[in-house]
Amino acid sequence: MDVKIENSWKTHLTPEFEKPYFSALTTFVKAAYAQGPVFPKGNNIFNAFNSCPFEAVKVVILGQDPYHEPGQAHGLCFSVPEGCPKPPSLQNIFKEIEADLGYKPQPSGNLERWAQQGVFLLNATLTVEAHKAGSHQQKGWETFTDAVIQTLASQREHLVFLLWGAYAQRKGSFIDPQRHLVLTSVHPSPLSAHRGFFGNHHFSQANQYLIDHGQTPIDWH
If the chain, 221 residues long, is cut into consecutive pieces of 10 residues, what is the mean pLDDT of each piece? 92 97 98 96 97 98 97 98 97 98 95 98 98 97 98 98 97 97 98 97 98 98 94
- Asked if 94 contacts 50 with a C-beta cutoff of 8 angstroms, the reply is no
Evaluate whether 125 touches 132 at the Cβ level (below 8 Å).
no
Query: What single-letter DSSP state applies at residue 190?
Result: T
pLDDT at 36: 86
pLDDT at site 116? 98
Tell me the pTM. Answer: 0.97
Q: How far apart are alpha carbons 181 and 47 in whole angstroms?
A: 24
Instruction: Give the residue from 72, 188, 47, 192 showing the smallest Cα distance to 131.
Output: 72
Catalytic residue numbers, as ranges: 65
Peptide bond into 177 cis (omega under 30): no
Q: How far, in Å, CA of 54 to CA of 201, rounded?
A: 26
pLDDT reported for residue 2: 84
Query: Tell me, what's the pLDDT at 16?
Result: 97
Helix axes 141-155, 7-17, angle to 10 degrees: 120
Nearest-10 Cα torsion for 93, 95, 100, 105? 90
